[in-house]
Chain A
Amino acid sequence: MVAIMFFILSLITIGGALGTVIARNAYSSALWMITSFLGVSGLFVMLNAPFIAMLQIIVYAGAIAVLILFVMMLMDRRVLENKDRFNPQYLWGAIFGAGLLADLLALALKFKIDISQAGKNLTINGSNTKMVGDVLFKHYLFPFEMVAIVLLVALVGAIVLSKDDEKEAR
């Protein structure tokens, strides 16, 4: 049963990723990306991480996808639908990606860790969210604040980059 669920969810994930890269239209590419994110979120539920799975749906499949689709809405449809999907040097890119994949697969097949602790220590009183919050605010408080500053800087940077500079244009 678990193996069947894993097969279905990984098929959704990998199929969505392939659709993102191959799709001709940018809109269908974004929808394939959402499909892939939902598959990954299902895999997270299988890995005893329900809080992260919900975060994945909210942040990736919700916020980021809507942001990208919103920017597409602002642009001309003919700009988004190019005649040529791929770069002229796409073959080199594909060969490089295949080499990267082969390298990573060799790593995965050789990888040995002690998995006697698998699936343990992930909950407090049966709640994964409590455990994540406990570790986040006891051991990772400083990185948490740093991430808040990164988000603030990205917000300011995005506003500065995309604001109208009509004075310079004239």
Chain B
Amino acid sequence: MLVEYMIVSFLLFAIGAVGVMIRRNFLIMLMSLELMLNGAGMILIVMSYYLGNVSGQVMFIFVAAVAASETAVGLAIAIMMYKRKGSIDINDFSVLKK
């Protein structure tokens, strides 16, 4: 069962990574980031079970706290983008390219 659990969490991570790279909506990019963090947290829990060590579950608590703060800052950035340009399409924000 270990390999199956690992495959599920890696799929979650990879799907999240693809979502960050291909979507244009900034909010959906944030959601895909959450999926990536959740995939990384899930591998912690899987290893915690199969190694018989509860430290992985403690690490998941830290990952969840960091994910929550990351979402708060990301949503503040989204609100600022919306106020400045009235859009959250990521392709409208290429100021640094010019």
Residues of A that sit less than 8 Å from B by CB: 2, 6, 10, 13-14, 17-18, 20-21, 26, 29-30, 33, 36-37, 40, 43-44, 47-49, 51-52, 55-56, 59-60, 63-64, 67-68, 71-72, 74-76, 79-80, 82, 84-87, 90, 92-94, 96-98, 100-101, 104-105, 107-109, 111, 113-115, 117-122, 128, 131-132, 135-136, 139-140, 143-144, 147, 150-151, 153-155, 157-159, 161-162
In the assembled complex, the Cα of A128 lies from the Cα of B17 at a distance in Å of 32
Nearest CB to that of A124 among chain B residues?
B54
- The reply to whether B32 and A21 contact each other, CB–CB distance below 8 Å, is yes
Closest CB-CB distance, B36 to chain A, in whole Å? 10
Partner of B18, one of A21, A71, A157: A21
Closest CB-CB distance, B70 to chain A, in whole Å? 7
- The reply to whether A79 and B87 contact each other, CB–CB distance below 8 Å, is yes
Residues of A within 8 A of B78 (CB): 71
Closest CB-CB distance, B53 to chain A, in whole Å? 7
Give the B interface residue count (CB, 8 A): 70
Give me the 9 closest cross-chain CB pairs, A-B, nearest first.
Answer: A117-B52, A154-B69, A93-B21, A97-B18, A21-B19, A161-B76, A101-B14, A104-B10, A158-B76
